[in-house]
Structures are given as structure tokens and as C-alpha cells.
């Protein structure tokens, strides 16, 4: 199938946590908009990652499977180097990999749970971004971090650990934008609200899902493709004067001045 768009024509993009959900939608969207190579990072969901690769290739891009736990410094570094070896460069980095592990109240929360969520959601972005910058600064590019409405609300029931990491990631986005602008690298974020993904299927009971729907003005869950649309805007020249910003994709669940 020929590429339907050209907003990122010929560019090389790496998407973490791209085996399903938002990451998959972003990877396929990049391919549809003309990306030459799309790196598909996954940790354990190999079958789903291969399905993402098929969808990417059906849009005309080359897919590169990249197995790595981004919370591991060495694995993150090797993943970026592997992608550079395959693609020759990196123009776009989408830091999407994240986890809740499980819901738990702060009282009695196991230290291992707290640290694991921070390791994936915040350390992982640091490790991957640090490794990518070395290559991106030579030609400029775009970094998009996937945060969450939880960064502003403190999260739903039992997700304070997750919310804390997303708040940190929102601040990291601004700091990176300030530091990397001199190299022609723009850094932005997308903050999804309730999106219909395997994340909520796994972590959110049905009664909580309904309350999330009722908390939005649009009275529904969003789709991964709606989040991907915001990412595609931010990595394209259409947003060439935007950096250090966050686009909220939450159906009117929460507003910021």
C-alpha cells in the first residue's frame, strides 16, 4: 500500500512500547505519513509487536523490531544503537512505554512497586532519550513524550505512583525542550485521558471505566488513533513553532489554563 501522507516523508522514527494500543497507532500513523523506517520497541509482547510491524509495512515503511526493557540502562542504549545501525539515523523519538503494574493505595504500597513504575515511566524515558540525543543533535528532530491527564489530577483510584511519574515526565519535557532547542530538536508531550486500550482492559475495573466515561464532556473513551493524531501533528512541520508544550487529548475530562 502506498503512503497516504507525507508529513514525515523519509524520516526515521523510533516508538517505545509500540506493540499495541497508543504505541501501535503512533507507529502505523508514522508509516502512513511517509516515515521510511519505524522502530517498534517492545519488552515481552513479541506476537503483538510483529503484528504492529505487519501493519507498518503495509503502509509502505520498513519496520524494525527492537526488544528491550527501557528501564534497563544497557538495554535502552543497545536498542537505540541497534536502531541507528538499521536505519542510519533517528529523526523522531516517541517515548510511549509505560506501566501501572497494578493499582495500590499509597498506604502499604510495596517499595518495589513504586520503584518499578518509576523505572519504566521515568527512568526509561531518560535512558532512551539520552542515548538518542547523541545521534539526533547532528540533524535535529522531534521528541514526543506520552504523559497523562493523571499528571494534573493525581490519577484514578490506586494510581498515585503512576500519576507521580507522569507529572515528572511533563516537567522533563519542558526541561528537555529548553536544553535541546539549540540543536534543532523540538520536545513536546501528549497527555491522554481515558483511551480505549489494553491498559484499561488490564488495570481498570468496569465500574471505574464507566466513571471515566462520565467524567468526560464527550461521554466516551478516546481511541489510540486520536492520540496518534496529536503525536503526528507534533512531529510534523505543522508544529514547527511549538516546543515544550503538551497537547491534552482527554475528551474534556480536565482543563488547564
Q: Which residues are designated catalytic?
A: 162
Burial class from Cβ neighbours inside 10 Å (0-12, 13-18, 19+) for residue 201 reads exposed
Residue-wise DSSP of the chain:
---S--TTTT-EEEESS-SSHHHHHHHHHHHHTT-SEEEEEESS-HHHHHHHHHHHHHTTPEEEEEE--TTSHHHHHHHHHHHHHHHS---EEEE------S---STT--HHHHHHHHIIIIIHHHHHHHHHHHHHTTT-EEEEEE--THHHH--STT-HHHHHHHHHHHHHHHHHHHHHGGGTEEEEEEEE-SB-SHHHHHH--HHHHHHHHHTSTT-S-B-HHHHHHHHHHHHSGGGTT--S-EEEESTTS----
The backbone torsions φ and ψ at residue 256, rounded to the nearest 5 degrees and listed phi first, read: -125, 140
Rounded Cα–Cα distance for residues 207 and 167 (Å) = 26
- Report the chain's terminal Cα–Cα distance, integer Å: 42
For the chain, give the number of residues.
257
Amino acid at each position: 500500500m502506498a503512503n497516504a501522507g507525507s508529513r514525515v516523508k523519509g524520516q526515521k522514527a523510533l516508538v517505545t512500547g509500540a506493540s499495541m494500543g497508543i504505541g501501535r497507532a503512533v507507529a502505523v500513523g508514522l508509516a502512513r505519513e511517509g516515515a521510511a523506517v519505524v522502530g517498534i520497541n517492545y519488552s515481552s509482547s513479541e506476537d503483538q509487536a510483529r503484528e504492529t510491524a505487519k501493519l507498518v509495512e503495509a503502509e509502505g515503511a520498513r519496520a524494525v523490531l527492537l526488544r528491550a526493557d527501557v528501564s534497563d540502562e544497557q538495554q535502552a542504549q543497545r536498542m537505540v544503537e541497534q536502531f541507528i545501525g538499521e536505519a542510519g539515523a533517528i529523526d523522531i523519538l516517541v517515548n510511549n512505554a509505560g506501566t501501572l503494574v497494578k493499582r495500590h493505595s499509597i498506604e502499604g504500597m510495596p517499595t518495589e512497586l513504586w520503584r518499578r513504575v518509576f523505572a519504566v515511566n521515568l527512568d526509561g524515558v531518560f535512558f532512551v532519550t539520552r542515548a538518542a540525543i547523541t545521534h539526533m543533535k547532528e540533524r535535529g528532530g522531534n521528541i514526543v513524550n506520552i504523559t497523562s491527564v493523571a499528571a494534573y489530577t493525581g490519577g484514578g483510584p490506586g494510581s498515585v505512583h503512576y500519576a507521580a511519574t507522569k507529572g515528572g515526565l511533563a516537567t522533563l519535557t519542558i526541561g528537555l525542550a529548553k536544553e535541546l532547542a539549540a540543536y534543532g530538536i523540538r520536545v513536546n508531550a501528549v497527555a491522554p485521558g481515558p483511551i480505549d486500550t489494553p491498559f484499561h482492559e488490564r488495570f481498570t475495573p468496569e465500574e471505574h471505566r464507566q466513571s471515566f466515561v462520565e467524567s468526560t464532556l464527550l461521554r466516551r473513551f478516546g481511541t489510540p488513533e486520536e492520540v496518534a493524531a496529536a503525536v503526528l501533528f507534533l512531529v510534523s512541520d505543522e508544529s514547527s513553532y511549538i516546543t515544550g508544550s503538551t497537547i491534552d487529548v482527554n475528551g474534556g475530562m480536565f482543563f488547564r489554563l
